[in-house]
Structure 1
Amino acid sequence: MKIVSYIHPKSTYLPCTGIGRHINQMLLGLEACQEISLQLLFSAQWLSAHHKLDERSPLSSIPFTTFPSTENATERTWKLLGFPQMDRYVSKDTDWLYAPMQTYIPISKCPVAITLHDIQAFETNLPWSHTWQHKLFRFKWSGWVNRALSDSRIIFTVSEFSKHRIVELLDVDPQKIIVVGNGVESQFFDISTVDPNTLIRPIAEPYILVIGGLKFKKGADYVLSVARELKLHKSDLQILVAGDSESKYLAVEQEFPNLKLLGIVPDKDLPRLLRCASSLLFLSHYEGFGIPAIEAMAVGTPAIVSNRASLPEIVGTAGIIVEPEQIKSVVDILMQLQENSHLREDYIRRGYQHSQYYTWARCVDVVRKAFYEYI
């Protein structure tokens, strides 16, 4: 089977977001399938002077073809006008044009499969749903998403929650939507057997890890309230935040001495940071999946997540699901996990067992089987 995959190369550069990880792992997995011939498709703007894809991308060794126009300009005309058709960049024996990301690609030569990781743009009950920024976001998506849903033979998504919202908000045939999910890289599972006391810790004190930076949509205000409450309790628990933070939160360390911003953390360091943590705190308002929660479980660290969007589905009974506005209750749980070894061990055991389902090999197999079934 011959598959051409359209990507945004920059999204795949390490370290990358959850969507970037999905792109990398799905395509590396498909490339490893003996019966599949995989080729990348992207704008020539991403090529180096030596006509190569940047080595920061794990996909740099996969064969590729490019189109001459810039990525933004090309996608803008795809989404607004439905052209240029990309048939000229795809050979006649191509079986699928696959995008492991959210886009619309006009083509008539072969069937198309795209991936909608979430449809936050169409949600109307989020704290920011009525801001002008979100209304503009929704307007831009409205210009192309229905055409993409109509023209694509398969719509992949990453959770049952996202599938349900696609069906409910966009009136899509559920038979067309396949939940592929997300996985966890092997290094997270590998470190679960390592005694955290033998690892290099970022700080000497016990700490809670927050992944995704301090961003409003990721529950930054809840995290700051947790830091304030921990301070009132005179707890020695610290909060470390990995990832880019919004500018309005960059000075919070002055007000919260028990909180530290780590910035972007190299992928190789994340398993160690999670393994040494007392717990993962993930109080996001909206997630199509929520990879950090499963990564925490895989390394043997309890995951506390908000009762929002897909997160209760993803962690099931193996994670601790909280109402993020009930800060005192959240802090009580965080402190119990640090002080009650039996409670902590119970959630470590449950979380690790739960995480075994979330492998990239399983995700790749779902996609591979769908390509054969829907051809």
Structure 2
Amino acid sequence: MQIAIDASRLAVGQRTGTESYTTELVRALAQTDRTNHYCLYVNQLPAALPPLGRNWRIKPIPAPRLWTHLRLGPTWQIDRPDVAFVPAHVLPSLPPRRSVVTIHDLGYEHHPESHPARQRLYLRYSTLWSARMASQIIAISEATKRDLLHYTGIAAEKISVIYHGVHERFYPHSSEQTKATAAKYGLHGEYLLFISTIQPRKNLVRLIEAYAQARQRCPDLPILALGGKTGWLTEQITQQAQQLGISEHVAFLGYVADDDLPALLSGATIYLLPSLYEGFGMTVLEAMSSGVPVITSNVSSLPEVAGDAALLVEPSQTATIAAAIVELWQNPQQRHDFAQRGLAWAKQWTWQRCAEQTLAVLTTVGHHGSF
């Protein structure tokens, strides 16, 4: 079977969720499947690729703008793969006859204020188009599946829920490794950590407010380190710490290099992801795999991903987030217990399982056209 993959996300320098998903899934598929033939279609050659077998090839088709619609779609019409796979949302305007698309989230529907108007319209249109035109959809959580059913009206049997995995590089690192990595980002001593894009949907204004409240009760609370590339309305987030008079206790790390992330996570005292909405929340599992206790939200996909291995909070309640921070900081045994539960819980989330389930969907669509 000939499987075509939109691998344009492999060439993105600063990886976020969809880029990590594409990279790790390609890596796991290459390790799992030596039978089918794969072609990675890219708009530019990636700086690095996962190890690929002889049944894999890469096809650059450069284009400065609208690559998906002006170049990828027409190329797939000529090449006619048995099935085409889009790991991140958008099918070409000339869709292939048999296709699978992964839709990660519909956050723009829940929190439209977190997206510029033009981006919101594009996301709404492209998601609806992809959902209707794809032969089968992969949703990365039951929460995303529910959103697809509600906002697109497509049939439930057209959606397969396949969870992410956790890469083996996330594990409890030595003190020497964590201290050396933290020092690269100006962190010395203990720190509370958040890693994701710096944007309103991540609930960072409220997190900073909650941290300020927690510091009033616990003046010895470690610094709050916020890592991630800047996004929509970042400035109001960075100003929040100044307005609350806690700038010296809040560190904006900028984008955390992929190679540094495991050790930086492993060195955190507590990992925080109190998002208003997540399609999955990969860093929750990465923190757990690193042996770090987690505080996260009780909304969208996060209860699915966290299970009973994290302290869940209502993200709209600043006082609740602050109380959770104080609770874990003042109770080292509770931190240890959550860390141990997280390590056990995270072991079941593997990219191999994700690849096997994804390959099953691709095989069914490639052979039969639909489920």
Q: Into which bin does the TM-score normalised by the smaller protein fall? A: 0.7 to 0.9
Q: Report the counterpart of residue 21 of structure 1 in structure 2.
A: 20
Greater relative contact order (Cα < 8 A, sep 6+)? 2
Consecutive unaligned residues of structure 2, counting only runs of 5 or more, are none
* 1:239 aligned onto 2:224: yes
CA contact (8 A) 2:274 2:296 kept: yes
Matches within 5 A, 1:133-148: 133-134=116-117, 136-148=118-130
Aligned residue among 139, 151, 176 for 2:158: 176
CA contact (8 A) 1:14 1:56 kept: no
Q: Report the counterpart of residue 195 of structure 2 in structure 1.
A: 211
Match of 2:8, as an amino acid? H
Aligned residue among 44, 47, 52 for 1:55: 47
Provide the secondary structure at the position in 2 that maps to 1:346. helix
Once the two structures are TM-superposed, the CA of residue 142 in structure 1 deviates from its matched residue by 4.4
What's the C-alpha RMSD, in Å, of the aligned pairs?
2.7
CA shift digits 1:291-325 (9 cap, x unpaired): 01111111111111122211122111111110123
CA shift digits 1:257-289 (9 cap, x unpaired): 111111111112111111111111111111100
Match of 1:19, as an amino acid? T
Provide the secondary structure at the position in 2 that maps to 1:324. coil
Aligned residue pairs total 351
Query: Structure 2 length normalisation: TM-score?
Result: 0.85
Provide the secondary structure at the position in 2 that maps to 1:268. coil
Matches within 5 A, 1:1-375: 1-9=1-9, 12-32=11-31, 33-43=33-43, 46=44, 53-56=45-48, 58=50, 63-67=57-61, 69-70=63-64, 72-75=65-68, 85-90=74-79, 92=80, 94-106=81-93, 110-121=97-108, 123=109, 125-126=110-111, 128=113, 133-134=116-117, 136-188=118-170, 191-192=171-172, 194-196=173-175, 199-200=178-179, 201-202=182-183, 203-233=187-217, 234-245=219-230, 246-250=234-238, 254=242, 255-256=245-246, 257-374=248-365, 375=367
Moved more, 284-293 or 247-256: 247-256
Provide the secondary structure at the position in 1 that maps to 2:262. helix
CA contact (8 A) 1:54 1:60 kept: no
Once the two structures are TM-superposed, the CA of residue 113 in structure 1 deviates from its matched residue by 0.7
Provide the secondary structure at the position in 1 that maps to 2:121. helix
CA contact (8 A) 2:214 2:323 kept: no
- Runs of 4+ displaced beyond 6 Å: none
CA contact (8 A) 2:69 2:92 kept: no
Give the whole-Å Cα distance in 2 for the aligned partners of 1:368 and 1:213. 30
Give the whole-Å Cα distance in 2 for the aligned partners of 1:253 and 1:106. 44
Provide the secondary structure at the position in 1 that maps to 2:42. strand
CA contact (8 A) 1:86 1:106 kept: no
CA contact (8 A) 1:85 1:106 kept: no
Q: Kindly tell me: are residues 343 and 371 of structure 1, through their superposed partners in 2, closer, same or farther at Cα, counting changes over 3 Å?
A: same
CA contact (8 A) 1:180 1:366 kept: yes
Once the two structures are TM-superposed, the CA of residue 367 in structure 1 deviates from its matched residue by 0.5
Q: Kindly tell me: are residues 372 and 230 of structure 1, through their superposed partners in 2, closer, same or farther at Cα, counting changes over 3 Å?
A: same
Give the whole-Å Cα distance in 1 for the aligned partners of 2:177 and 2:123. 48
Give the whole-Å Cα distance in 1 for the aligned partners of 2:124 and 2:211. 39
Consecutive unaligned residues of structure 1, counting only runs of 5 or more, are 47-52
Q: Kindly tell me: are residues 321 and 29 of structure 1, through their superposed partners in 2, closer, same or farther at Cα, counting changes over 3 Å?
A: same
Q: Kindly tell me: are residues 96 and 319 of structure 1, through their superposed partners in 2, closer, same or farther at Cα, counting changes over 3 Å?
A: same
Q: Report the counterpart of residue 49 of structure 1 in structure 2.
A: none
Give the whole-Å Cα distance in 1 for the aligned partners of 2:176 and 2:27. 34
Q: Kindly tell me: are residues 270 and 240 of structure 1, through their superposed partners in 2, closer, same or farther at Cα, counting changes over 3 Å?
A: same
Give the whole-Å Cα distance in 2 for the aligned partners of 1:291 and 1:35. 30
CA contact (8 A) 1:30 1:36 kept: no
CA contact (8 A) 1:13 1:56 kept: no
Once the two structures are TM-superposed, the CA of residue 109 in structure 1 deviates from its matched residue by 6.0
Moved more, 338-347 or 357-366: 338-347
Query: Structure 1 length normalisation: TM-score?
Result: 0.84
CA contact (8 A) 1:12 1:58 kept: no
